[in-house]
Structure 1
Amino acid sequence: MVSTSSSPAGPAEADSPVVHVPFSGGASHFVASTTTGFHVFSCGESVERVRYKSIADVSYGAEVTSAEMLTWSRLAVVTRKTGGAEHDAIYFFDEESKRTIRISSAKTPSLGVVGGVRLLGDHAIIAGQEMAMLVVRGDIKNSELVETGPNPLGLCALAVDRREATYALPRPEKGAVVDVRAHGSGVACLALSRDGRLLATAGSKGTLVRIFSTDDGTKLQELRRGIDRADIHCIVLSSDSRWLAVSSDKGTVHVFPVSSADKATKAGADSDTLPVTPPATAPVPATAKQGSFYRCRFDPVNAGEMKQLEHERFIKKINE
């Protein structure tokens, strides 16, 4: 059964591991999903739980696989039946208006198992195993289905600018995203800039991150995370597209400066011979699996190791 706390204070307790932790668009809140539930937190001067209602209409035996936030009060939660092959449902919540929309697997049979959801404005993209669905204002009947390649990780990205939606999804061809040939190996992670002009991708080897123009597919920049193979957990572009952060299973976060599309075009560089950009910072510990929150500052000029400003435990195990 999925439920949330009625108290905004103190860390949450969980008897299952954290499976997904995304931030809201403005990074003012984040939601931490465990298989048995989810918890919403604010991250202003201190990390604090947000009062949220219990979800009474989730069937017994369902487990949470992921969640996505638009604002503190608007989020989507994906559930599946324990031991089942199909997802059970996707719940779109609006806590302020007390409105809940439930999309069951029966309504989206072509998607199969849902691996990821992205929310932005009135738009949502739902990524299945080999299909994705673009939904506007919760209108499932008039939603747009898009064929993808095999997508077991539920990779998807969404940007909305001037009421136009841009989305990125794995293509059927190995290593391809939308109409961009991104990596020779499979694609492990992807992200769009807020305005939809830049697409960042990471390959399954986890050593390189590449940035492309969504206008024509030109490769603008190549960033080296490291030389050892790694599983990339997340890549994200800052709101002004000047920085890109990469986290991995190495327990590290790297932050890179992002060259503008105009600067790359004026340089006249061949897209296959662009210089590899080193990270602006050295790695810092990241322990999301233990329910820890870090706030750090980096030096954009001299690079080096980040300075840790804050560390809090937002989820702890029962009986810890």
Structure 2
Amino acid sequence: MSVRLRRDRIVVILLKKIYVYNFADLKLLQQIDTFTNPKGLCEVSHLSGSMVLVCPGLQKGQIRVEHYASKQTKFIMAHDSRIVCLALTHDGRLLATASSKGTLIRIFNTLDGSLLQEVRRGADRADIYSLAFSTTAERLAVSSDRGTVHVFNLKVDSGPLQTTSDQNIGSPPVVSHLSFIKGVLPRYFSSEWSMARIHLNEGLQYVVGFGHQKNTVVILGMDGSFYLCQFDPVAGGEMTIMESHNFLKSDETFS
């Protein structure tokens, strides 16, 4: 279904099993049984040193976390519905998950499995195509079949992993202005919303990541489209398209 690579490991993902190999001699190091995994969901940390691997667990909505340094396995019940998208920070400390409902994205501490934050993409069901952490794990980008890319502020910083009660960071999450009635009405009204967004072509699959330039995201579409967008980290709102190309139409640049 898919493959993940590190300098020292090759991870091969099948429908219900994952194989971890040593890169140097292709020796099989581990076999992992998973819930049916047609999307080939699996992510590995990329910093040198010990690897962290996340993949579906043995039941719907469950995540398995493998910490190879401590040789510990942790299971997280992330969602009630089937997991459709995963993202892991480079150091493997933070995990983002989305389910088939596509309304909520949850961020977990992989060390203890605790839920650190929950952000809302929208109220209606959507297919989440891509999740990406910024390099410093200050923000999370999300793309869906609605044709919209959202950028969320996160509560955890790039230092030692802490809960929000232990720290104070600059960019607060965006909370619904109706949050004052959260004790009366559903959690929807106290949800944390994206601070910046851009709407492209609905139904088209986009992969998103953060750019090397400050406060930018890179968006790649399955139709060959490329967008470099900039967001205002304070005011948020609609992102600005700085560059756009189509790599399947080499003679065409579109705005």
**Aligned mates of 1:138, 1:189 — CA distance in 2:** 30
Match of 2:194 among 272, 279, 291: 279
Q: TM-score, normalised by structure 2?
A: 0.72
1:196 maps to which residue?
92
Match of 1:305 among 229, 238, 241: 238
Distance 1:265 1:218, change over 3 A: farther
1:187 maps to which residue?
83
For these two proteins, the number of residue pairs brought into alignment is: 197
Aligned-partner SS, 1:294: strand
Contact 2:87 2:133 in 1 (8 A): yes
Q: Does 1:264 align with 2:197?
A: no
Deviation digits for residues 2-60 of structure 1 (CA, Å, limit 9, x no counterpart): xxxxxxxxxxxxxxxxxxxxxxxxxxxxxxxxxxxxxxxxxxxxxxxxxxxxxxxxxxx
1:225 maps to which residue?
121
Contact 1:159 1:195 in 2 (8 A): yes
Contact 1:290 1:316 in 2 (8 A): no
* C-alpha displacement of 1:265: 4.6
Contact 2:83 2:100 in 1 (8 A): yes
**Aligned mates of 1:284, 1:290 — CA distance in 2:** 16
Q: Report matched runs for 1:1-320 at 5 Å.
A: 115-178=1-64, 179-260=75-156, 261-266=161-166, 276-285=191-200, 288-316=221-249
* C-alpha displacement of 1:185: 0.5
Larger C-alpha radius of gyration, 1 or 2? Answer: 1
1:37 maps to which residue?
none
Q: What is the percent sequence identity of the aligned residues?
A: 41
Unaligned runs of 5+ in 1: 1-114, 268-272
* C-alpha displacement of 1:299: 0.9
**Aligned mates of 1:311, 1:293 — CA distance in 2:** 5
Deviation digits for residues 132-186 of structure 1 (CA, Å, limit 9, x no counterpart): 1122215333332111111011001100444100000001111001111100101
* C-alpha displacement of 1:285: 1.3
Contact 2:132 2:141 in 1 (8 A): yes
Contact 2:19 2:28 in 1 (8 A): no
**Aligned mates of 2:52, 2:23 — CA distance in 1:** 16
Distance 1:135 1:141, change over 3 A: closer
Deviation digits for residues 100-131 of structure 1 (CA, Å, limit 9, x no counterpart): xxxxxxxxxxxxxxx12222322232211111
Aligned-partner SS, 1:290: coil
Q: Which amino acid aligns with 1:202?
A: A
**Aligned mates of 1:291, 1:256 — CA distance in 2:** 26
Contact 2:197 2:239 in 1 (8 A): yes
Q: CA RMSD in A?
A: 1.9
Aligned-partner SS, 1:282: strand
* C-alpha displacement of 1:316: 3.6
Contact 2:116 2:163 in 1 (8 A): no
Q: Which amino acid aligns with 2:194?
A: P
Unaligned runs of 5+ in 2: 65-74, 168-186, 205-220, 251-255
